[in-house]
Amino acid sequence: MSKHNVSRRQFLNYTLTGVGGFMAAGMLMPMVRFAIDPVLSVDKGGDYVATKQKVSELTTEPTRVDFSFKQVDGWYESEETNTAWVYKMDDGKIIALSPICKHLGCTVAWNTDKSNPNQFFCPCHYGRYTKDGVNVKGTPPVSPLDVYDTKEKDGILYLGQLKPHGEA
């Protein structure tokens, strides 16, 4: 077999198939990449944010814990500060409640209503929640306060995603 056996027809066939293959690959590869992209993306939902609160300093009394994170709001990326009310249960489990009232979104505080001690109190429409975040019947809020996922690392409290009460 000598190398002169490739006919003109064969040569053109091979070349066109090769070039066509490259072009098809060039079109298909990005499509495949786009299609599987959701699978490859890193799950940002599980991110925990460090607070300045030491876990050992938490008590059974709810404490105000501020933490900040970067938030993209429209076009701006800003440093957003959020708050959580954190306390330890008797068995040592840490509870972190969102301070956002489920009624219309005011910020609730612990133990600020003198006539109803040891409850979370919303100053806007006098909504109240018990220590575990459950709304008191007869006050405006219709559902319990949201709860943050919590984690302890190196003695520091980390807060995760906000979840409806009872799911965290």
User: Which residues contact another protein by CB under 8 A?
Assistant: 79, 81, 101, 103-107, 122-125, 140
Both tokens of residue 26? Answer: 């060039």
Give the pairing type, strands 94-97 and 109-110: unpaired
Nearer to another protein, 47 or 66 (CB): 66
Question: What is the nearest approach in angstroms of another protein to the Cβ of residue 106?
Answer: 4
Question: What is the nearest approach in angstroms of another protein to the Cβ of residue 47?
Answer: 22
Nearer to another protein, 2 or 115 (CB): 115
Question: What is the nearest approach in angstroms of another protein to the Cβ of residue 105?
Answer: 4
Question: What is the nearest approach in angstroms of another protein to the Cβ of residue 100?
Answer: 8
Question: What is the nearest approach in angstroms of another protein to the Cβ of residue 49?
Answer: 16
Both tokens of residue 72? Answer: 């993209």
> Under 8 Å CB-to-CB from 104, ≥6 apart: which residues?
124, 125
DSSP 59-95: -SS-EEEEEEEEEEETTEEEEEEEEEEEEE-TTS-EE
* Dist. CA 161–CA 168, nearest whole Å: 9
Task: Say which amino acid occupies 76.
Answer: Y
Nearer to another protein, 32 or 124 (CB): 124
Specify whether the CB–CB gap between 159 and 48 falls below 8 A: yes
Nearer to another protein, 39 or 72 (CB): 72
Nearer to another protein, 60 or 107 (CB): 107
